[in-house]
Structure 1
Amino acid sequence: MDVVDAMRTTGTCRYFSGDPVPEEVLLSAFDAARFAPQGGNRQPVRWVVVRDAERKRRLRDWYLEPWKAYLKGIGTGDIQVGTLPKVVTDADHFAEHLDEAPAIVVCCAELDGLHPTDHALGRLSVVGGASIYPTAQNFCLALRAQGVASALTTLLCGYEPQVKELLGIPDGMITAAHIAVGYPAHGFPTRLSRTPVEDIVFSETYGTPLAPSGA
């Protein structure tokens, strides 16, 4: 599959068919994911594949708490989920049925393998994620190339102590994302909605659009 086609059609899947994803498919995706860029080639990312039904239910129950709190804050009064935009109702279905995904992959990282260079700027430090999330996206793209869908979420990261205990994740490791994996129930999107490129790319100074050559 062409890499650009993969990038343009790897959306967040919220409805899975339930068919199991073979180990060799997952291993192939993990193998490709390793080649993402990371600071100093420290390779801090580790993975835990969760298939056990009870463990997945535990993860779903923890996920539902922050999701329902977020959902409650949308709109006012006794708003019904069915009256919300489709993207929200789809996300609610995903939350309610998270445990039905064939696998939930926990993306972990070694703290000592991260090297944030922005921690003294007086704002949220984000640079450490540069050694984690490109690998996670590579994993999702490699799955897409094999016809497997995914949904990356960070809501469960707030339950890191519980997740680490449930899955035996050792000290010195963090949980950076949880990725639901499975074959899509309704196929892949043909077009994802994104901000136009002319609104997000600038030349020399912020706000000055980058125009095509000859324009």
Structure 2
Amino acid sequence: MELTEAMRTTGTCRRYSTEPVPDEVFKSAFDVARFGPQGGNRQPVRWLVVRDAARKQALADLYLPMWDAYFAGITGGTVAVGALPKTVQDADYFARHLAEVPAIVVVCAAMDGLHPTDHELGRLSVVGGASIYPTVQNLCLALRDQGVATAVTTLLCHEEPAVRAMLEIPDEYITAAHITVGYPEKNFPKKLTRSPVEEIVALETFSQPMFDLSPAL
């Protein structure tokens, strides 16, 4: 698959077929994903593939109460989302069928392999993720190349102590994301909805657009 096509069609899949994903597909994808950029080549990411039905159900049982609270906020108008109504409906379906996905990949990262430079700024620290999430996206693209769909969720990270105990994750590792993996129930999207380049790219200063915002004649 051509790279830009993969990038434009690797959306969040919330409905999967029951077909299992073979080990060789996973191995090929992990082999590519590990080349994602990371600070100092410290390679902090470790992957944990969960296929066991009981473990998937246990993860789903942790996930659903948090989703229910979030979903109640959406429907009650206290949580603002930019998603379309169908997307929210699909996300609700996803939450209620999480245990049925073929596999859940738990993204773990060694804390001593991260180097956050923003933790003293008095706001949310995010820089440590720069050594994690490019590799996560590599995995999603590598699976897409093989016709396998994914969804990245971070909601379960709130339940890290319970997840760590359940999956015997060492204390020196954090959970950075969970990725559902499987063949899509329907086709991959042909076009994802994103903001136009003209609205998201600035030149020199934040308020100065780099590209012309006026419509083409």
TM-score for both structures, normalised by structure 1? 0.94
Displacement of 1:52: 0.2
Q: Give 3-state SS (helix, strand or coil) of 1:19's partner.
A: coil
**Residues 31-88 of structure 1: CA deviation (Å, up to 9, x unaligned):** 10000000111000001000000000000110101100001112339xxxxxx91111
Aligned to 1:16: 16
Q: Give 3-state SS (helix, strand or coil) of 1:169's partner.
A: coil
Aligned to 1:126: 126
| Moved segments of 4+, more than 6 Å | none
1:43 and 2:43 equivalent?
yes
How many angstroms apart in 1 are the aligned matches of 2:145 and 2:207? 36
**Kept after mapping to 1: 8 A contact 2:33/2:138:** yes
Displacement of 1:210: 1.1
1:53 and 2:53 equivalent?
yes
1:179 and 2:179 equivalent?
yes
Aligned to 1:148: 148
How many angstroms apart in 2 are the aligned matches of 1:76 and 1:209? 36
Aligned to 1:80: none
Q: How does 1:38-117 map to 2 (within 5 A)?
A: 38-76=38-76, 85-117=85-117
Aligned to 2:81: none
How many angstroms apart in 2 are the aligned matches of 1:75 and 1:139? 33
How many angstroms apart in 2 are the aligned matches of 1:96 and 1:154? 16
Q: Give 3-state SS (helix, strand or coil) of 2:185's partner.
A: coil
Structure 1: 5+ residue runs without aligned partners? Answer: 78-83
Aligned to 1:34: 34
Aligned to 2:138: 138
Displacement of 1:109: 0.1
How many angstroms apart in 2 are the aligned matches of 1:5 and 1:35? 20
Paired residue type of 2:172: G
Displacement of 1:187: 1.1
How many angstroms apart in 1 are the aligned matches of 2:166 and 2:135? 24
TM-score for both structures, normalised by structure 2? 0.93
**Kept after mapping to 1: 8 A contact 2:62/2:156:** yes
Paired residue type of 2:73: G
**Residues 148-203 of structure 1: CA deviation (Å, up to 9, x unaligned):** 00000000000101101111101100000000000000110000000111000011
Aligned to 1:25: 25
Aligned to 1:205: 205
Paired residue type of 2:41: N
How many angstroms apart in 2 are the aligned matches of 1:159 and 1:211? 42
43-52 or 200-209, larger mean C-alpha shift: 200-209
How many angstroms apart in 2 are the aligned matches of 1:88 and 1:64? 14
**Kept after mapping to 1: 8 A contact 2:103/2:181:** yes
